[in-house]
Structure formats: structure tokens, C-alpha cells
Amino acid sequence: MKLIRLGIAATLPIVLLASSCTSSDAGDPGSGSTTTTPAKPSIAVSVGPAPTQYNQGRKSVNFDPCVGVGDSVIAKIGFDPSSRKRMDQIHDDYSFIGCSFDQNGTVDGTTMTVRQLTISSTNITLDEFRKRDGTSSTVIQINGQDAIVHPDGPVSCFLETSGPDGALDIQLSIVQPHSAEQPCGNIKDIANVVQGAVSGK
């Protein structure tokens, strides 16, 4: 990655308690409401923990795509979940916590990586990305949210939209030799799936 320059709800019967109930009844685990913890995404290949952050003047990045984006999401957009590997950037005043994934294809009879995808959560805001890349970026909508898309040379494209910690940063790179594919032409479909999975985290 380039460096940044800057369910089914159970219906419970209602039981009317007699007026002689004491306050201790409220603490009975059988009579109180329960809290449901969201299930963690299924991930077959584990990675190491995110590195220590510094973030002078900013809040830490809390959402980690390496553990927060499941294998089913990665497979849905055509990448190999087993290629999951950590791809972080830690600087004095901002951080990117991310994961990268490969997509394999056959080129001249040889199986090789043809595309690479990096998904990061960063504490840089979408407005900061707009200011930095405004002249080279295109504004689009991702699941009804503003996003910006901008190329990074002929074989790589970035998309940023609002995320859990500031912005969700997605990079698509074409590594197949002699490919005529335009990465910015395909990144929106990928981002729609990824952002939908991350939304609300």
C-alpha cells in the first residue's frame, strides 16, 4: 500500500408478578433481559495481532479488517480467503490497520496472482482524503454513502468512504503481466460488498 501523505428474535411470555415481590427479584437471571453478542465472522486463516499504534492527536483505530471481515465476504468478491495477510501502516499521527488478499488466475498456462486487494480502517477522515486527492478523485456513492475513487498509476486504484474509525480504505491492484484491466473500473462493485459487511461495526 502506498504511504499516505499528510436474526430470529425469541418471543418471551410476559409474567405479571405479585405486588409482594422484592427488589431481589429484579436481579434473578431468569427474569431479566439478555444481551446478545454478535457472532464473529468465520475466518480459516488467522493472522497476528495488530501492531501498537501511536496516533498523536487522533483516536486509535479499533476496527481490524483482518478479524472483522469474514471469509465469506472475501470469497464473494472473488479473492482467496486463505491468502489473508496483515498489511498495516503505523505512523506517529495516524494509522492504517488492514489486510490484503490475492486472486489467482492462469496466465500462459501458469497459475499466478493476478489481482491484490487491501482493506484498511484508518483514523484519517474522508474529508482529509478529499482535500488531499480532490483534483484527481471522482465522487461516487457506495451503498448510499459518499466515497471517492482515485487511480494510483495505471495498475492500482484507491477508494475511500466513511468507516468505523474515520475512513474505510480499499486498494485494488492489478499484478497480472500485460493486463489491460482498469482497476478503477471494478473497485466500486468490490467496495459495495465490503462496506456492507463493515457497516455498523
Q: Grid coordinates in use for 107?
A: 496466465
pLDDT category at 124 given cuts 50, 70, 90 is very high
For residue 22, pLDDT beyond 50: no
Assess contact for 151 and 157: CB atoms under 8 A.
Answer: yes
For the cut 80, the answer to whether the pLDDT of residue 28 exceeds it is no
State how far the Cα of 173 lies from the Cα of 22, in Å rounded to an integer: 65
* 170-188 pLDDT, tens digit each: 999 999 888 888 999 999 9
| 162/164 Cα distance (integer angstroms) | 7
Residues whose CB is less than 8 angstroms from the CB of residue 188 and which lie 6 or more positions away in sequence, other chains included: 140, 142, 149, 159
Cα separation, 169 vs 57, in Å, equals: 20
Residue 182's CB is within 10 A of a number of other CB atoms, namely 13
Sequence spans of domains, the chain: 52-198
Task: From 15, 13, 194, select the one nearest 100 (Cα to Cα).
Answer: 194
The Cα–Cα gap between 41 and 61 comes to 19
Q: What integer best gives the mean pLDDT of the chain? A: 85
pLDDT grade, residue 32 (50/70/90)?
Answer: low
- pLDDT at 26 (0 to 100): 44
Asked if the model's pLDDT at residue 89 lies above 70, the reply is yes
Q: What is the pLDDT of residue 6?
A: 41
Which cell goes with 75? 470469497
- Check residue 35 and give its pLDDT: 57
Asked if pLDDT for residue 159 goes beyond 80, the answer is yes
